[in-house]
């Protein structure tokens, strides 16, 4: 299946775009997506942390993804 991934902040710079399409196996979960993204974009591993949001909610690693999901990569946030 092809997933459309939205990128924000530093992750947009890492991807070189604000959106990326990723091909992944049917029934894949968030953890599998993270592994694939880190393989294709090793710079992600250098981030202190990042989150995956699915349909506007932070996702757990075991959550199964579908082609209809809206998926976003949320970079680390700093504040003061």
pLDDT tens-digit readout, 4-55: 999 999 999 999 999 999 999 999 999 999 999 999 999 999 998 899 999 9
80 against 51, higher pLDDT: 51
Query: Which distant-in-sequence residues (6+ apart) come within 8 Å of 79 by Cβ?
Result: none
Provide mean pLDDT across the span 70-80: 81
The predicted pLDDT at position 78 comes to 62
pTM higher than 0.75 = yes
The predicted pLDDT at position 6 comes to 97
């Amino acid at each position: 299946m092809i997933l459309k991934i939205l990128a924000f902040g530093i992750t947009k710079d890492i991807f070189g775009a604000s959106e990326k399409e990723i091909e992944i196996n049917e029934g894949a979960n968030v953890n599998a997506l993270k592994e694939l993204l880190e393989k294709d974009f090793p710079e992600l591993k250098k981030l202190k942390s990042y989150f995956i949001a699915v349909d506007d909610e932070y996702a757990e690693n075991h959550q199964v993804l579908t082609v209809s999901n809206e998926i976003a990569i949320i970079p680390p946030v700093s504040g003061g």
